[in-house]
Each structure stands twice: as C-alpha cells, then as structure tokens.
Chains A and B, each alone.
Chain A
Amino acid sequence: GENVEQHPSTLSVQEGDSAVIKCTYSDSASNYFPWYKQELGKRPQLIIDIRSNVGEKKDQRIAVTLNKTAKHFSLHITETQPEDSAVYFCAASIPVREYGNKLVFGAGTILRVKS
C-alpha cells in the first residue's frame, strides 16, 4: 500500500534541546526517504535524505536513521534554534512503472522551538 504515518503532529521544544520526528511506511519496495522543511506559505525545502543501503546519515545538527526491517525512519535535530521552527514532512518513494517512482508524504509535524 501507499501509506506514510508521521508522529507527532506537533512538537514543542526549548531552544537547545533535541527534537525527534518519526515516520513509518508500508511499501517494502520504498528505497528513498527524504525530509522536507516548509515554512508558512513557502516551498518545501529538502533538508536531508537517506537511501535504503545505509542506516544513518548526518549533516551538522540534523541526522536521519532508517530501519528497513521495521519500516520506520526518524529525523533528529540537535541543539534546536528558533529558526528551526517550521513544518517538517517525511516522505517515502513508491515505485511506479510509468516513470520510475513517486513520493508519498507524511501528514507533517509542526515544530516550535521556544527561546
């Protein structure tokens, strides 16, 4: 099936604390998992992605982990800052015969970093 579950729907943290957002997917053929950050009224911006041949990827304060057996992946933001406040979406690739693959998005997580 084509389903990506994302939790929590909202997350409030104190500046400097860590934030973790979790997603699960249903299609075992999914092999690409991007995370996007979207500020109000703006376009989604790719912040990090991971492919199924690795279990973890890190880029400065952002890291993503992937457990293919359990079909879940997580976004970790350390040392959060007020400018990290936004809506975060996870996504999983779904193979499509006609054009390769498409992305199915989670419902989103509103992250608020309080200063």
Chain B
Amino acid sequence: GAVVSQHPSRVICKSGTSVKIECRSLDFQATTMFWYRQFPKQSLMLMATSNEGSKATYEQGVEKDKFLINHASLTLSTLTVTSAHPEDSSFYICSARTSGGLEETQYFGPGTRLLVL
C-alpha cells in the first residue's frame, strides 16, 4: 500500500518552455501532497504544499507564479515549472500523506529529473 507515482521520470527541455510534472497516489486518497526539490548531494527542500480543492501553500523564497501547483483530485497533484531556465534543473520529488490531522507519514514518488538546456 501507499504507492506514489510520478510522471515523467525525466525530461529535457529548452530554456523558456514550461514543464508539467504529475504526482499520483495509486492506492490511497491524499488530501495533502508535498513538492520538494533536491539538488545533487543535497537534502530535500520543500517548495510547496498542495491541498485538494484549495490554494497551494508556498515556502518562503519559492515563486508561486513560476511553480504552479494544482491539486484537482484526491489522487493527483501537478507541478508546472513555467519559463524554465537552466538553474531550474534539479530532481523534483513529490510526496503524499494518507490523511490530514495526526497522520504525518509521507510517501515519496520516484522523482522527476529535469534538465533545462
């Protein structure tokens, strides 16, 4: 149980284009999904938290107009990197939580490696 998928697994795009990444909880409903960015040999940095049916909550320093998050259903959240630039190249990982309130366990997707040329 508690399987999270992510698509695509890797993407190469030109500078200035937009890239959409999907995160799905396959066998449970996730009211909350998290989006992280991980640079090589570094830790996971939370970018934003996605709540089904409401606006995403962004961490300090993360541009909400650049990283668009949509959580349209209890099993799907999307992250769109708009007008991507080479410095946006990174490993993007989502996680999903089985329920809100006292349940804190997060299960991670396999990640999306983004390379912007």
- Asked if A96 and B57 make an inter-chain contact with CB atoms under 8 angstroms apart, the answer reads yes
- Asked if A34 and B93 make an inter-chain contact with CB atoms under 8 angstroms apart, the answer reads no
- Asked if B105 and A49 make an inter-chain contact with CB atoms under 8 angstroms apart, the answer reads yes
Please, what's the 1-or-0 string for A19-42, where 1 marks a CB less than 8 Å from any CB in chain B? 000000000000010101000011
- Asked if A44 and B93 make an inter-chain contact with CB atoms under 8 angstroms apart, the answer reads yes
Question: What is the total number of residues of chain A having a CB less than 8 Å from a CB of chain B?
Answer: 24
* Residues of B close to A107: CB separation below 8 A: 42-43
Question: In whole Å, how far is B3's beta carbon from the nearest beta carbon of chain A?
Answer: 11
The stretch from B61-69, B72-80, B107-115 touching chain A is B107-115
- Asked if B109 and A100 make an inter-chain contact with CB atoms under 8 angstroms apart, the answer reads no
Cross-chain pairs A/B with CB under 8 angstroms, 29 sampled? A34-B105, A34-B106, A41-B111, A41-B113, A42-B111, A43-B108, A43-B111, A44-B44, A44-B93, A45-B108, A46-B105, A46-B106, A46-B107, A49-B105, A89-B43, A89-B44, A93-B104, A96-B49, A96-B57, A99-B51, A99-B57, A99-B100, A100-B32, A100-B104, A103-B104, A105-B43, A106-B43, A107-B42, A108-B42
Q: Identify the B interface with A (CB < 8 A).
A: 32, 34, 42-46, 49, 51, 57, 93, 100-102, 104-111, 113
